[in-house]
Amino acid sequence: MSGDGSKTKRPGKGSVAKLAKQPARVRTVKEIAAAANVSVATVSRALQRPEIVSEKTRKHIHDVVRRLGYTPNALARNLRTARTRLIIALLPDIANPFFSEVIRGIEQVAHESGYCVLLGETQGSLVREQSYADMVAARQADGIITMSPRVPSIPIQGRLPVVNACEYVKDAHISSVYVDNVAAAGVAVDYLLMLGHRQIAFVGGPPASPICVDREQGYRLALQRAKVPAKPALTVSGDFSIEAGERAIESLLSRGQAFTAVFCANDEMAIGAMRALSARNLRVPDDVSVVGFDDIRFARYTTPALSTVAQPKNALGREAMSMLIELLNDPEVPPRKRILSAELIVRGSTAPPRAANK
């Protein structure tokens, strides 16, 4: 807790006195009903379905509610109605800028449909994932959108109120929305091939994640299409971090591998790769071209700016939430795997290979 020269001050002693102006107690329907001289049912109706109480009563009740400051107890309501209108979005790492725009898409749709979104950071830990899933089991939330390639277990009947975004799971009962990673990786590698590169390294992500497998496959298929032999030694894998990108390049260079381009399975590793290259006095893109994946916000701001495969982040989020709402409204709708397409964004980190390297 860094004992480092921290100080504590207590602000104005007058504070307690000021509290005298108590901002209204916690109220219940009963109290409101009593104050308004109606039954609890009428109060509840005035708030939930205003159109079925007479205008006069409704106004009166609203007045009382405002005057006394009443907020219905959501626990009681949710208990009774068996729905919370709350959904939890699980993300492996809030520090990963990729997710923020996905979240925004989720929230847009949620908001339109009267849902509230809370975020849970799992740090890739199954235990933490499960602990959020338990909140659904305990009826504290209606559903979950998870962005990891795993489905937590929720001991309830029928369809799990879970949708998988960005990643996807093999489990056919779970709806997922993600991009066509094979195709997207293919487009990126096609582009490098088109520029004239023949020795293209690949820095993959954790092999446990299906999307990483797909991206690697896209890379391999593209080489195959171009009849360029894929050298296994040019493929390394990391854990999506900047440091992993650095290590990958270090490893390639120290093994004396020759390459004129690197395709990384995400932008952070691409950023690491660029750093490692310039640390070795290799210039991007003059000596080596670099392509990332995701198009995180910082990709625009590296020097040179990073060419990358942009995922439709907002659409991924929107679609995930739409599917979840659909599922919550009708658990009978069959699960779907929805596949969106990604787009190559060419910036400054790619160029034709130098003649010398051809």
Partner DNA sequence: CGCTGCAATGTAATGGATTACATGAAAGCA
Partner DNA sequence: TGCTTTCATGTAATCCATTACATTGCAGCG
Binding site for DNA (CB under 7 A): 26-30, 37-42, 44-45, 47-48, 52-54, 56-58, 70, 72-73, 76-77, 79-82
Report in angstroms how near the CB of residue 213 gets to a copy of itself at its nearest. Answer: 18
Give the DSSP letter string of 105-121. Answer: HHHHHHHHTT-EEEEEE
> Closer to a copy of itself at the Cβ: 143 or 312?
312
Under the binding rule (CB under 8 A), the answer on residue 230 touching a copy of itself is no
Under the binding rule (CB under 8 A), the answer on residue 121 touching a copy of itself is yes
Distance CA 26, CA 70 (A): 7
- The residue within the footprint of a copy of itself, chosen from 48, 54, 63, 118 (CB under 8 A), is 118
- The residue within the footprint of a copy of itself, chosen from 150, 197, 215, 318 (CB under 8 A), is 318
Report in angstroms how near the CB of residue 103 gets to a copy of itself at its nearest. Answer: 6
Q: What is the DSSP letter of 133?
A: H
Does residue 304 have a cis peptide bond before it, meaning omega lies within 30 degrees of 0?
A: yes
> Closer to DNA at the Cβ: 161 or 204?
161
Report in angstroms how near the CB of residue 45 gets to DNA at its nearest. Answer: 5
- The residue within the footprint of a copy of itself, chosen from 204, 218, 312, 353 (CB under 8 A), is 312
Contacts of 332-337 with C-beta under 8 Å, sequence gap 24+, read 335/159, 335/172, 335/173, 335/174, 335/175, 336/175, 336/176, 337/168, 337/175, 337/176, 337/177, 337/178
> Closer to a copy of itself at the Cβ: 74 or 346?
74
Name the token pair of 39. Answer: 């039954």
Stretch that binds a copy of itself, among 228-236, 256-264, 287-295, 330-338 (CB under 8 A): 330-338
> Closer to a copy of itself at the Cβ: 59 or 337?
337
The number of residues that bind a copy of itself (CB under 8 A) is: 84
> Closer to DNA at the Cβ: 37 or 303?
37
Distance CA 225, CA 194 (A): 12
Determine phi and psi for 142, rounding to 5 degrees. Answer: -85, -30
Give the DSSP letter string of 56-112. Answer: HHHHHHHHHHHHHT----HHHHHHHHT---EEEEEES-TT-THHHHHHHHHHHHHHH
Q: Identify the H or E element spanning 263.
A: strand 261-264
Residues 237-276 that bind a copy of itself (CB under 8 A): 242, 271-272, 275
Binding mask 127-166 for a copy of itself (x = CB under 8 A): ----xx-xx-xxxx--------------xxxxx-------
Under the binding rule (CB under 8 A), the answer on residue 26 touching a copy of itself is yes
From first CA to last CA, the distance across the chain in angstroms is 56
Under the binding rule (CB under 8 A), the answer on residue 24 touching a copy of itself is yes
Under the binding rule (CB under 8 A), the answer on residue 39 touching a copy of itself is no
Under the binding rule (CB under 8 A), the answer on residue 47 touching a copy of itself is no
Under the binding rule (CB under 8 A), the answer on residue 319 touching a copy of itself is yes
Q: At what angle do helices 267-279 and 242-254 cross, to 10 degrees?
A: 50
State the Cα angle at 348 between 347 and 351, rounded to 5°.
Answer: 105
Residue 4: contacted member of a copy of itself, DNA, none (CB under 5 to 8 Å, by partner type):
a copy of itself
Residue 338: contacted member of a copy of itself, DNA, none (CB under 5 to 8 Å, by partner type):
a copy of itself
Residue 162: contacted member of a copy of itself, DNA, none (CB under 5 to 8 Å, by partner type):
none
Distance CA 283, CA 276 (A): 10
Contact 321, 109 (CB under 8 A): yes
Under the binding rule (CB under 8 A), the answer on residue 281 touching a copy of itself is no
Instruction: Give how far Cα 158 sits from Cα of 18, 57, 90, 328, Å.
Output: 54, 43, 21, 12
Report in angstroms how near the CB of residue 39 gets to a copy of itself at its nearest. Answer: 21
Under the binding rule (CB under 8 A), the answer on residue 48 touching a copy of itself is no
Determine phi and psi for 146, rounding to 5 degrees. Answer: -110, 140
Under the binding rule (CB under 8 A), the answer on residue 75 touching a copy of itself is yes
307-310 vs 343-345, strand pairing mode: antiparallel
